[in-house]
Structure 1
Amino acid sequence: MRPTQAVARPLTRRIMQGAAGRYTVYPNRLHNRSIITLKDHLFFSKAVAEGAGRNGSVKSFGDAPLDLKLAMPKVAGGKGDGQNPEQLFAMGYSACFLGALQLVGARAGKKEIVDKAKVHATVFLGHPTDANMEGFGLRVELTIEGCEDDALIQAAHEFCPYSRALKHGIDVKINKA
């Protein structure tokens, strides 16, 4: 099945300026979920994006630096000759969820059940159904292969930082350099 051609809507002044110039507040939207905050950190990752946004480049730093050319997918009107943020998100989420699944499996004494599991992540970029929200949104589907234990899969979903971020929200700070 081939995805449909993406249609980009122009950004309005409300989106570009946002509340206090930092982020957008959507009127008539209630957010009744908690935000995960950290008491410490065990690790951090740093990356920088530059150039023409989704057609620019992104670099990470650390033990094994990564330098990628970004490109809009062909189906979205781009050249498709580079990676896109949704690919990177899918890769990170699937790897993180697999790690969480293997950890909870080992803790439950069911290591052999999850040893050969695979996690497939599909990240969809599209327009939100909420008419008051402009721009784009994401939807994620995870498919677990090689593990039929629903309790382990649910435990991994509760443990995985990506799942937690999407379910509960995360603390995001925007700073000027």
Structure 2
Amino acid sequence: MAYKTTATTKGGRDGRSSLEEGKLALAMALPKDLGGSGDGHNPEQLFALGWSACFGQAILVLAKKHGLDGQAAKVTCDVALNTTDGFSLAADIKVALPGADPAKLQALVEEAHQICPYSKATRGNIPVTVSIA
């Protein structure tokens, strides 16, 4: 194992979440769209943050192989919570890299989706679209 972290939440979606290391603690709140106050963060936001950062690192690792400079890449991850037929997630990842050849960028994004740990963890479990912007 290369790395491990631990988070604890008390109070669910209207509680408080913190990392064991003490470097981050967040008030959680049910989104207004779901009838909550929206005065805090929610798991979908945190998942989107983590996935966009992780996917961005995969872009950086692979960019040179594809003849691109990944430093300027911008990864946007939309995470949706669906409430029809129970609860489920869906994600849409868009990668923008100004001035990049679209074919090279598309190949890079597809390969990044294969190695990103978040992409691996969700593969076959939730609908995910990956595209270039």
Same fold (TM over 0.5): yes
Alignment partner, residue 136 of structure 1: 87
Query: Following TM superposition, by how much is the alpha carbon of 1:154 offset from its aligned partner in structure 2, in angstroms?
Result: 0.8
Q: Which has the higher helix share?
A: 2
Q: Does 1:159 align with 2:115?
A: yes
- Structure 1 residues 109, 153: CA separation in 2 closer, same or farther (over 3 Å shift)? closer
Q: Contact conserved, 1:102 with 1:111, CA < 8 A, in 2? A: no
**Number of aligned positions between the proteins:** 120
Alignment partner, residue 44 of structure 1: 4
Q: Which has the higher strand share?
A: 2
Q: Distance in 2 between matches of 1:139 and 1:126?
A: 7
Query: Following TM superposition, by how much is the alpha carbon of 1:136 offset from its aligned partner in structure 2, in angstroms?
Result: 0.4
Alignment partner, residue 131 of structure 2: none
- Structure 1 residues 168, 74: CA separation in 2 closer, same or farther (over 3 Å shift)? closer
TM-score, length-scaled by structure 1 = 0.63
- The answer for unaligned runs of 5 or more in structure 1 is 1-40, 129-133, 170-177
Residue by residue, what CA displacement relative to the aligned partner does 1:150-174 show, whole Å, maximum 9, x if unpaired? 11111100010000001156xxxxx
Give the number of the structure whose alpha-carbon radius of gyration is greater.
1
Q: Does 1:78 align with 2:29?
A: no
Q: Distance in 1 between matches of 2:86 and 2:16?
A: 21
Alignment partner, residue 130 of structure 2: none
| Structure 1 residue runs of 4 or more that deviate by more than 6 Å after TM superposition | none
Q: Distance in 2 between matches of 1:127 and 1:74?
A: 14
Q: Does 1:54 align with 2:13?
A: yes
Query: Following TM superposition, by how much is the alpha carbon of 1:79 offset from its aligned partner in structure 2, in angstroms?
Result: 0.6
Aligned runs of 1:1-177 on 2, under 5 Å?
41-51=1-11, 53-62=12-21, 65-106=23-64, 108=65, 110-112=67-69, 114-128=70-84, 135-146=86-97, 148=102, 149-167=105-123
Q: Distance in 1 between matches of 2:124 and 2:78?
A: 20
Moved more, 84-93 or 139-148: 139-148
CA-atom RMSD in angstroms: 1.7
For CA contacts below 8 A with separation 6 or more, give which structure has more relative contact order.
1
- The answer for unaligned runs of 5 or more in structure 2 is 126-133
Query: Following TM superposition, by how much is the alpha carbon of 1:135 offset from its aligned partner in structure 2, in angstroms?
Result: 2.7
Query: Following TM superposition, by how much is the alpha carbon of 1:115 offset from its aligned partner in structure 2, in angstroms?
Result: 1.5
Moved more, 87-96 or 53-62: 53-62
What is the identity percentage for the equivalent residue pairs of Structure 1 and Structure 2?
38
